Structure 1
Amino acid sequence: MVDFDVVELDATDHPEAGEQAPDFTRPLVDDELWADVSLSELLDDGPLVLLFHPMDGAFPATYLWNEVRERGWTDDIAVVGLSISTPYAHKQLIAERGIDARLFSDPQNGVAEKYDIVNDLDGMAGVSEPRPAAFVVDREGTIQYTWVAEEWPAFPDYDAIEAAIDEL
């Protein structure tokens, strides 16, 4: 039996397809190290998929990264994640889940605020994380596909993301 309630989330004014992805700089973690990197720096290398997810260790993050790995997206496009987890937690998640992607660390949840996808956690005063969201962004920084959760937990339409990747 599932031991959680599905929670409806408030409406947002998040960026949509056709709009510029808000730029930000945060520590970007891979399997070896981390460094402050901006989204625009990553786009210099080509288009990408930006996946916002709950903190590392939460089951939605695990399911998300398992799906990305199984679909082999990182063979075709840069895939980067973002959560409130620390660089240390990201390194552990990358190692444990065999993630072939880099993860932005945003403990203060400022990037989610920029994207208007903040999820205030029930029962935790002053604690928030990004709601699950996916943005496919072209080399120029224009969002080509957007999905933002309207309830928690929720998972993106992986087939729709793949279709958007194929159209780049």
Structure 2
Amino acid sequence: MADFDVVELGEANHPEVGETAPDFTRPLVNEEFWEDTALSDITDEGATLLVFYTMDGGFPATYIWNELRERAWDETNDVQIVGLSISTPYEHKTLIEEREMDYQLFSDPGNEVAEKYGISFDMDGMAGISEPRPAVFLLDEGGIIEYAWVATEWPDFPDYDEIERAIEDR
């Protein structure tokens, strides 16, 4: 039996396929450093899989990033993968090092980006603390959403085969 409760998150008011993804600027962390970067700067370089996940250190982050690393879509397809959570740049650097990740992660401790995307949820029992619900958006080089998945419960994970088809079909 799981030692956590499944929480129904309900529907989200997120951007849909065919819409332009909301742009934002946040610290983007890699294994060496971080700097403020706009999402549009990333998408200008090509197709981007934007992965929202709960904070670093939790089992959902571990599962998501292990799966993405094993599938290596960025190595076999013309797509770059970036993540976003409420974790700080310092926490992101630790996650990148511990998981031996080649991915860059946006840091959004105030959760404003998830609010812009309509995917914020309040953490149970923590007044004023929120994080993004798990979500995946495949964006083209113009920032147009080609694929979207947003969790309706916690924990919930995307259908990785479905994401792979969306990447390969682009």
Aligning the two structures, in what range does the TM-score lie when normalised by the shorter sequence?
A: over 0.9
Aligned residues: 168
2-structure distance, mates of 1:38, 1:3? 38
Query: Is 1:4 aligned with 2:27?
Result: no
Query: What pairs with 1:1-168 in structure 2 (closer than 5 Å)?
Result: 1-75=1-75, 76=77, 77-168=79-170
Shift of 1:10: 2.6
| Distance across 2 between alignment mates of 1:167 and 1:46 | 15
Structure 1 counterpart of 2:73, one-letter code: W
Deviations 1:120-143 (A, max 9, x none): 100111100000000000011110
> Residue type matched to 1:35 in 2?
E
Q: Distance in 1 between matches of 2:62 and 2:152?
A: 19
Report the Cα distance in structure 1 between the residues aligned to 2:142 and 2:84, rounded to whole angstroms: 20
Aligned residue identity for 1:154: D
User: What do the CA deviations read for 1:34-59 (whole angstroms, capped 9, x no partner)?
Assistant: 00000100011101100000000010
CA offset digits 1:67-89 (Å, max 9, x no partner):
00000123132100000000000
> What TM-score comes out, normalization by structure 1 length?
0.98
Report the Cα offset of residue 20 of structure 1: 0.4
Contact conserved, 1:74 with 1:101, CA < 8 A, in 2? no
Q: RMSD of aligned C-alpha atoms?
A: 0.7
User: What is the percentage of aligned positions where both structures have the same residue?
Assistant: 63
Instruction: Check the 8 A contact 1:118/1:130 in 2, yes or no.
Output: yes
Gaps of 5+ in 2: none
Q: Using the alignment, how far apart are the partners of 1:139 and 1:122 within structure 2?
A: 36
The SS at the match of 1:95 is: helix
SS at match of 2:168: helix
Q: Distance in 1 between matches of 2:102 and 2:152?
A: 28
Q: TM-score scaled by structure 2?
A: 0.97
Secondary structure, aligned partner of 1:119: strand
